[in-house]
Amino acid sequence: MKTVSSAGTEYPIGKILCIGRNYVDHIKELENEIPSSPVVFTKPSTSVVYNNGEVIIPPYSNNCHHEIELAVLIGKICKNISPEKAFEHIAGYGAAIDMTLRDVQDELKKKGLPWDIAKGFDTACPLSDFMPADKVNNPGNLDISLSINGELKQSGNTSLMIHSIQQLVSYLSTVFTLEKGDIILTGTPAGVGRVVSGDRLFGKISGVAEINVTVKISKGEKNEK
């Protein structure tokens, strides 16, 4: 079973609940509509890859994108909680990269089909260790960035989320029982783009967490610029 660590405690990873379209500038770059309620999808825990690991682009895609996101670790079981109670249930904050097979996702979107194979494949969720929540002063105001091979590609701030961390935890708790070890990916700012074999991705939540991964392709498949 995959686990994440925060302040020396290992948490078995439960559900990974991901929010789409939570930053206006990213919605615009993909020409999507601003949603009235959060767009939710999931990744299996088997999609997690740790710091200094490898993202393997599967053979059925030729356009894998990076999406840096603030990750929220749930520390206590909760159901139907108000936004005001949300922070009491958060154990820590980390950095995740929502690796997305954009070509596959676009085809699935057109057909109205679920995105799982575009978002949940093995290694689709690079994940850092988590900083304990009591060490993060204001998770709603953190710089978030991603570089490829040292070149800055994404740069934003968690204050630019449409639905705040508290709102997301509250909303998700009305749909799912949130349990210790569940993880929420809170959406990505603008600047998403393609990665290719050999790329070194460096994602950062300023002062909180960092994640480094290298991109590879499945053996024998083309995936070149």
Number of residues that bind Mg ion (CB under 5 A): 3
Which residue among 98, 104, 145, 215 contacts Mg ion (CB under 5 A)? Answer: 98
Closest CB 179 distance from Mg ion, rounded Å: 22
The verdict on 129 binding Mg ion (CB under 5 A) reads no
Which of these ranges, 39-47, 96-104, 105-113, 140-148, lies near Mg ion under the rule CB under 5 A? 96-104
Contact positions with Mg ion (CB under 5 A) in 21-40: none
Closest CB 187 distance from Mg ion, rounded Å: 6
Q: Which is nearer to Mg ion, 98 or 129 (CB)?
A: 98
The verdict on 182 binding Mg ion (CB under 5 A) reads no
Q: Which is nearer to Mg ion, 32 or 141 (CB)?
A: 32
Which of these ranges, 1-9, 54-62, 67-75, 85-93, lies near Mg ion under the rule CB under 5 A? 67-75
Q: Which is nearer to Mg ion, 6 or 188 (CB)?
A: 188
Rounded-to-integer distance, Cα 37 and Cα 50, Å? 31
Contact positions with Mg ion (CB under 5 A) in 185-224: 188
Which residue among 41, 56, 67, 223 contacts Mg ion (CB under 5 A)? Answer: 67
SS3 per residue for the chain: CCEEEECCEEEECCCEEEEECCEHHHHHHCCCCCCCCCEEEEECHHHEEECCEEEEECCCCCCEEECEEEEEEECCCECCCCHHHHHHHEEEEEEEECCEEHHHHHHHHHHCCCCHHHHCCCCCEEECCEEEHHHCCCCCCCEEEEEECCEEEEEEEHHHECCCHHHHHHHHHHHCCECCCCEEECCCCCCCEEECCCCEEEEEECCCEEEEEEEEECCCCCCCC
Q: Which residues bind Mg ion (CB under 5 A)?
A: 67, 98, 188
